[in-house]
Structure 1
Amino acid sequence: MTNVYSLDGILVFGLLLICTCAYLKKVPRLNSWLLSEKKGVWGVFYKAAVIGTRLHMAVALSCLSMAFYVIFLK
């Protein structure tokens, strides 16, 4: 289990947030409901979705490397 208060826990949480928001951007009903706001607290989800779609290769490689770290090195 990763701890949210450690650096690797924060990185795992951030990567999961980015991947989840990028996936939800592809679902039409959830896209209009969750990712419609571009500012404020709900804007974090929109910005995470944009990062996930534009940098999909870097996010995928980061997820793979983080999974390797959590499973084998930690």
Structure 2
Amino acid sequence: MTNVYSFDGILVFGLLFICTCAYLKKVPRLNSWLLSEKKGVWGVFYKAAVIGTRLHIAVALCCLVLAFYVIFLK
């Protein structure tokens, strides 16, 4: 179990946040509600969704590497 206050916990949270926002971008009702703002606090969701969709291969590889680290090395 990772701790949010450790560096690997922050990485896990960040990757899960990016993956969740990229998934929510594919849902039409949530896309118009949650990801419509591009600035401000709500803009963080939009920017994470853009990172997740444009860099999907790099994000997927980071998820695999982090999963290997958490399961086997930690």
Superposition TM-score tier, normalisation by shorter sequence: over 0.9
Shift of 1:36: 0.3
Compute the TM-score of the two structures, normalised by the length of structure 1: 0.99
Shift of 1:15: 0.1
Deviations 1:13-61 (A, max 9, x none): 0000000000000000000000001011110000000000000000000
Structure 2 unmatched ranges of 5 or more = none
How many percent identity over aligned positions?
A: 92
- Residue 3 of structure 2: SS of its match in structure 1? coil
- Separation in structure 1 between the aligned mates of residue 73 and residue 36 of structure 2, nearest angstrom: 39
Compute the TM-score of the two structures, normalised by the length of structure 2: 0.99
Runs of 4+ aligned structure 1 residues displaced above 6 Å come to none
Question: Alpha carbon RMSD of aligned pairs, Å?
Answer: 0.3
Structure 1 unmatched ranges of 5 or more = none
- Separation in structure 2 between the aligned mates of residue 17 and residue 66 of structure 1, nearest angstrom: 14
- Separation in structure 2 between the aligned mates of residue 41 and residue 69 of structure 1, nearest angstrom: 31
